[in-house]
Amino acid sequence: MDASTTIRADLLTLTSEQAMMLSPYLWVFGGTVLAMILSVTRAIQPRLPVFIVSVLTALVGMVVSLGLFAADRVMLFNNMMVGDSYANFFNVVFLASAALTMLASFEYLDQERLQYGEYYLLVLFAALGMMLMASALDLIVIFIALELMSLSVYVLVGFRRADRRSNEAAMKYFILGAAASAILLYGTALLYGATQSTNIRDIQAFVQSQSGGVSIMFTLGAWLVIVGFLFKIASVPFHMWMPDVYEGAPTPITGFMTTGLKAAAFATFVRIFISTGYGDGLPAAIQSHMHDIIVVCAVLTMVIGNAVALTQTNLKRMLAYSSIAHTGYILVGMIAGQGSEQGYAPVVLYLVAYAVMNMGAFAVLAILAARADQGLNLRDFSGLSSRQPWLAFAMSVFLLSMAGIPPTAGFAAKYLLFYSAVQAHEIGLVVISVLCSAISVYYYLRVLVHMYMHEPEEGAAPLRPVSVWAAAVVASMVVLTVQIGTLPAGMLAAAKRAVMSL
Amino acid sequence: MLALIPLLPLIGFLINGAWYAFGQAPAGRKQANAAITGTLASLAIGASFVVSLILFLQLRGMSPEAGDHRFIEQTLFNWMQIGAFQLPMTLRVDALSALFTLFITGVGTLIHIYAIGYMSHDETPGKFFAFLNLFCFAMLMLVLGASLPILFLGWEGVGLCSYLLIGYWYTDDEKASAGKKAFIVNRIGDFGFLLGMFLIYATFGTLELAQLTAAVHGGLPAGVAESTVTAICLLLFLGCVGKSAQFPLYVWLPDAMAGPTPVSALIHAATMVTSGIYLVARLNVLFSLSPQAMLVVATVGAFTALLAATIAIAQRDIKKVLAYSTVSQLGYMFLGCGVGAFSAGVFHVVTHAFFKALLFLGAGSVIHGMHEEQDIMKMGGLRKQMPRTFAVFAVAWLAICGIPPFSGFFSKDEILWQAYSSTHGHALLWGFGALTAVMTAFYMTRLFSLTFLGTPRFQEHGAHGHGDGHGHGTGAGAGVHESPAVMILPLAVLALLSAVGGFIGVPHASWLDEWLDPVIHSQHELAAGVSGSTEWLLMGVSVAGAAIGIFFALRLYADLARAEALRKRFAGLHQALVNKWYVDELYDHLFVRPIHALSQGLWKGFDVAVIDRIVLGIGYVTQWTGQTVRVVQTGSTQVYAFMFVVGLIATVGYLIYGLA
């Protein structure tokens, strides 16, 4: 009662460490506002200035976050947020993903006649939401950040206003996403009822203080929060929205969703997962039942994702289903996280590796997409090796990486992930994962077969010229894919450090 | 600093490779300038040589007496970590690797420079020099790697470059298959190497060379059986047999001559093929623990030396003769190592690098001047047309024959003496070696005589056109000519080294033995019943043998009619020699065809009939699953929401059930 009337000075002032930790958020926010002003100033041609300001905002923010990576943990805003290595690690991923998305979009938007400044703004706002998600320690803050991200992305998905599919996708995503948010919020409310707090750490402390088990209310609340995230990461059976949305969204945005959005959801999920559902202190019955459910989800996710991807002939849709399959692999890592030596570091590494190769693959798709995102069927890739040898090569690297073939990032990440699952004695899961991976090789390689062993289609439409920006994105992703694949130690160490700071 | 040695050629590779891949390849095959790419590549490896030299001087500055162990180590990064196993990317230079580094970069630089002239007509010199630089990088990693996996990285890397360069003119089917043959035969050896490496890790728990050496330094460690060590050594030696072209895996090396001549000189004579000797010398402490393994090494070496020397006698292709001679000389080196004289083996590696590189480059100069003619029967009298090549070739010829004071004499004599006198040695081994020495003198003199002496046996068109820098026509119109200065200069340097290089290992005052002492502790232990005076006697015998071989060959090939008569008299033997003892045919019948037949059978009987059906069956099931699951994916939001709710209720129900 007193708390609402007295002014607490420590909530209004920032120490220098806190200010420093907040600087990437403030910078990105400031950059976004500047870009917004530029985009409404119709006096100047807004195309280039907005683009450059937005990209610079993301890139500089990324560098700042990178600089803060090694800094000590700082609690922010009365423990509602935290600035630790984990948060900064993911900030780098989000901002890089945002920057690369914008770079890959520039030419694409010109072609689609969608070159509006709002596009970049929304990407930045989504990135800011992701950053807040990964550093939030309070379920309410997480909810707000999630909504900031989601609302921006809903609009981005429907950005091709003239296209029916794009609108439909945005609508579906919005309706189902709203339902998921409601469930998340309901779970939060139940947790508050059970524990008198929305703070993750308090909840964790509460669980550990309960010797005699927890109430149904707590269990229900925790599970509903988890379901909210299972929706965002598109785990079966909460995955139905994903293929339609991925297909309908503008291609670079699909890339953004598979990389940034997915990483954000997982980053937050891991934070919550450890403290609410999966931590110590819960009764064994609950733990084992939750474990069962998530194992079933993971298995279904892998099997359905891969099996349906096999039947797709549209690359965008194929990659959407493959994205579901990869969610399954990451879930395996999360299940294994507690029982293995590396902990959740393989999960984090996998997220990075997956983000890198998917970013690259979608950048290639964005380059190749014809008007209105046509021309992404398998047969359009026939003979790409002779029409665009470098693009075909880059695409091959990304696909091989997704299939988990050395020396690419996908292999190193998958290896470490499955290895940790073996350590956690989840042998059955690993066997299923590996079998699913084997299935996935089929549909990844099929694209390679089309690119390298088929002749180009008769009368294929001429390809649009490759912009410098997009080429830079693709090239840097190829380099990163191979770099993480051959020398995973550095990235793994960073991931470990990030996870240790949790 | 140390990292620069392999890094510089790698940079050269990247620049030349990028230039070729982005500049030339997309633009189609238009001829590029060998001078630019070649100079760049030569600078890269030349700079690497300078760094090696500086490090060598640094090493020399360290005194073993003061407790320095005379090595420099640098860890670049941690390559991988799997459980408790760590693999740092560590480079380490000590006495042995410094020596190898010096001659790899030194001889390498000379050959790079030479190749600028030799490849001047080539269409894709960027690619050529990129590969050549990449080879140097891999070779340097091989000798500088501080642990077996890094050594293996280089080992495979040089194999890859060898394959790429043998099949460099890949449009020629024969050359492409020569590349494949080299690769496949080497795989057999690499298999042994890998198994040996696994066994080492299982036995000693480390792959670090220094730790491994330390573990076995004081004799057999407790709990390790001698048979295990023998198995390790033999498996590793299998790798060496492949890479260093020893019997029975030598068959790839003569075919490898399909590559451009500078490649033959650098990879297939001076450096790569000696990596087997490097490995044995590097692990000399380990090998010394197993008398059986040593015996195998020595016997294989001696037998290969003799076998290859006999084949060399009857070959007509100038490069084939040199190839068999290389196999034979490599056998010598293994003979040296096998009798415990590791430093003598290494000594021969060094001198051989000088004179064999010189022989190959000289042969290249001849081939270049004769417009791609390689048959020595169609040469003759070239000393007039190519006086400079003649002069340097003569030095190499005397060196390989073992005439004092040329370099080959010292190293060969050291090996022969050790083969006789060391505790691991035997008079029979010496006999093989001495006989090989006589034959070496014979076939090298035959080559020399048929190429340079006597009268020309070729049609001389426009004989007045010879001399440096005249227009390079194609074939018939142009005459035989001396090679340009850029090719002759490296030859001159190599000739100098071939002439005086032997003085680093003068018996009883050997600088080399002393230098290598921290790595290879040479015990000049004499077997019972051998006295010091025997050494002089044996030296005399080997020199006399060489002289006889030379004399006999000179006489015989001065008059070709007589040689022809001799050939007719031993027609059967000659035929066997020309056909290389039918070893290739034997392998073809023993291995290639049965494996081919087996593969055919497996393909049709098993793969198509059984495996494919299973795989396709699983594929159909998966496809069917996918199609079925897809049915739910109708696109209707209501259905999606319904599934969402179903999932929610099912999971919540299960949880509550667990709580109740």
Cβ(B92)–Cβ(B210) below 8 Å: yes
Q: Which residues of A touch B651 (CB under 8 A)?
A: 223, 227, 293
Query: Residue B585 above 80 pLDDT?
Result: yes
- Gap between the Cα atoms of A411 and A401, Å rounded: 6
Domain annotation covers residue A191: no
Query: Residue B575 above 60 pLDDT?
Result: yes
Interchain CB contact of A176 with B (< 8 Å): yes
- Gap between the Cα atoms of A278 and A286, Å rounded: 9
Query: Residue A5 above 70 pLDDT?
Result: no
Query: Residue A176 above 80 pLDDT?
Result: yes
Q: Which residues of B touch A311 (CB under 8 A)?
A: 623, 626-627, 630
Residue B587, burial from CB neighbour count under 10 angstroms (0-12, 13-18, 19+): middle
Cβ(B396)–Cβ(B358) below 8 Å: yes
Position A44 scores a pLDDT of 62
Q: How does pLDDT run across B363-414, given as a tens digit for each residue?
A: 988 888 888 888 888 887 888 888 888 999 999 999 999 888 899 899 998 8
Which secondary-structure segment (H or E) carries A128?
Answer: helix A117-135
- CA dihedral (A452, A458, A460, A465) in degrees, to 10, reads 60
Confidence of residue B469 (pLDDT cuts 50, 70, 90): very low
Nearest CA in chain A to B641: A176
Confidence of residue A453 (pLDDT cuts 50, 70, 90): confident
Interchain CB contact of A489 with B (< 8 Å): yes
Nearest CA in chain B to A290: B655
- Gap between the Cα atoms of B3 and B145, Å rounded: 11
Confidence of residue A98 (pLDDT cuts 50, 70, 90): very high
Asked whether the beta carbons of residue A240 and residue B644 sit closer than 8 angstroms, the reply is yes
Q: How does pLDDT run across B503-513, given as a tens digit for each residue?
A: 888 887 788 88
User: What is the domain range of residue A380?
Assistant: 283-502
Confidence of residue B31 (pLDDT cuts 50, 70, 90): low
Nearest CA in chain B to A488: B80
Domain annotation covers residue A154: no
Domain annotation covers residue A172: no
Mutant choice from B89, B638, B651, B656 vs A, greatest count of A C-beta within 10 A: B651
- Gap between the Cα atoms of B480 and B371, Å rounded: 7
Query: Residue A8 above 90 pLDDT?
Result: no
Query: Residue A145 above 90 pLDDT?
Result: yes
* CB-closest option in B26, B630, B658 to A289: B658
- Gap between the Cα atoms of A125 and A131, Å rounded: 10
Average per-residue pLDDT in chain B? Answer: 85
Query: Residue B474 above 70 pLDDT?
Result: no
Nearest CA in chain A to B21: A390
Q: Read off the pLDDT of each residue in A274-298 and give the average, rounded to a whole number.
A: 76
Query: Residue A62 above 90 pLDDT?
Result: yes
For A466-488, the three-class secondary structure string (H helix, E strand, C coil) is CCHHHHHHHHHHHHHHHHHHHCH
Question: Residue B398 is encoded by which pair of tokens?
Answer: 């005397």
Q: How does pLDDT run across B73-83, given as a tens digit for each residue?
A: 888 888 877 77
Q: Read off the pLDDT of each residue in A321-336 and give the average, rounded to a whole number.
A: 91
Q: Read off the pLDDT of each residue in B643-655 and give the average, rounded to a whole number.
A: 88
Question: Residue A419 is encoded by which pair of tokens?
Answer: 């290895």
- Gap between the Cα atoms of A467 and A484, Å rounded: 26
Domain annotation covers residue A140: no
Mutant choice from B77, B153, B644, B654 vs A, greatest count of A C-beta within 10 A: B644
- Gap between the Cα atoms of B81 and B8, Å rounded: 27
Asked whether the beta carbons of residue A223 and residue B81 sit closer than 8 angstroms, the reply is no
Which of these, B265, B321, B239, lies nearest to B103 by C-alpha position? B265
Our count of domains for chain A comes to 1
- A155-178 burial: b if 16+ Cβ within 10 Å, else e: bbbbbbeebebbbbbbbbbbbbbe
Q: How does pLDDT run across A420-434, given as a tens digit for each residue?
A: 999 888 899 999 999
- Gap between the Cα atoms of A218 and A193, Å rounded: 8
Q: How does pLDDT run across A147-157, given as a tens digit for each residue?
A: 999 999 999 99
Asked whether the beta carbons of residue B629 and residue A179 sit closer than 8 angstroms, the reply is no
Which residue shows structure tokens 């021969």? B348
Asked whether the beta carbons of residue A311 and residue B79 sit closer than 8 angstroms, the reply is no
Q: Which residues of A touch B635 (CB under 8 A)?
A: 168, 244
Asked whether the beta carbons of residue B633 and residue A240 sit closer than 8 angstroms, the reply is yes
Beta bridge partners of B92: B73
* CB-closest option in B623, B640, B651 to A223: B651
Nearest CA in chain B to A486: B79
- Gap between the Cα atoms of B61 and B80, Å rounded: 34
Position A99 scores a pLDDT of 94
Q: Please list the alpha-helical segments (H only) found in A234-343.
A: 241-248, 251-256, 262-275, 284-310, 315-336
Question: Residue B478 is encoded by which pair of tokens?
Answer: 């142009």
Query: Residue B241 above 50 pLDDT?
Result: yes
Position B476 scores a pLDDT of 40
Q: Which residues of B touch A285 (CB under 8 A)?
A: 658-659
Q: Which of residues 215-274 of A touch B (CB under 8 A)?
A: 216, 219-220, 223-224, 227, 231, 236-238, 240-241, 243-244
Q: Read off the pLDDT of each residue in B60-71 and give the average, rounded to a whole number.
A: 71
Confidence of residue A10 (pLDDT cuts 50, 70, 90): low
Question: Residue B210 is encoded by which pair of tokens?
Answer: 């220094």
- Gap between the Cα atoms of A374 and A74, Å rounded: 48
Residue B86 DSSP SS3:
strand
Position B151 scores a pLDDT of 92
The alpha carbon of residue B639 is apart from the nearest alpha carbon of chain A, in Å, by 9
Domain annotation covers residue A171: no
Domain annotation covers residue A360: yes
Whether the upstream peptide bond of residue B248 has omega within 30° of 0, thus cis, is: yes
Domain annotation covers residue A444: yes
pLDDT over 90, % of chain B = 29
Whether the upstream peptide bond of residue A237 has omega within 30° of 0, thus cis, is: yes
Domain annotation covers residue A155: no
- Gap between the Cα atoms of A2 and A225, Å rounded: 31
- Gap between the Cα atoms of B287 and B275, Å rounded: 16
The alpha carbon of residue B647 is apart from the nearest alpha carbon of chain A, in Å, by 6
